Amino acid sequence: MKDKEYKLNTVKDFLDVVTEDNLELLIQDFKMFLGMRLQIKNLKMSNIIKPKYDYFHWIDDGKHNATYTFIPEEKK
């Protein structure tokens, strides 16, 4: 069975996918996502490194794995 993937932009998006069973996983995965974004911001790299997604792309697979894909911004 394929894992469910979600594109979460709004609080409503989170409420639509959260259940009693996946609440802790969702929170922990979102915390990792925010932590990575914060590190980029604190390192003042956000003008150089852009994340692949502008939203929280969550895979409900019961794991705490995270893959971060960054695409260098095109030089102007």
CA distances to 24, 29, 74 from 6, in Å:
16, 12, 28
Alpha-carbon span 19 to 70, nearest angstrom: 30
Q: What DSSP character marks residue 61?
A: S
What range does the domain containing 55 cover?
4-72
Q: What share of the chain is helix, strand, coil (3-state, %, to 5)?
A: 35, 20, 45
Mean pLDDT of 53-74: 73
Residue 68: predicted pLDDT: 64
In total, how many domains does the chain have? Answer: 1
Burial of 18 (0-12, 13-18, 19+ CB in 10 A): middle
Strand-pairing partners, residue 2, are none
Residue 20 pLDDT > 80: yes
Instruction: Indicate the pTM of the whole model.
Output: 0.73
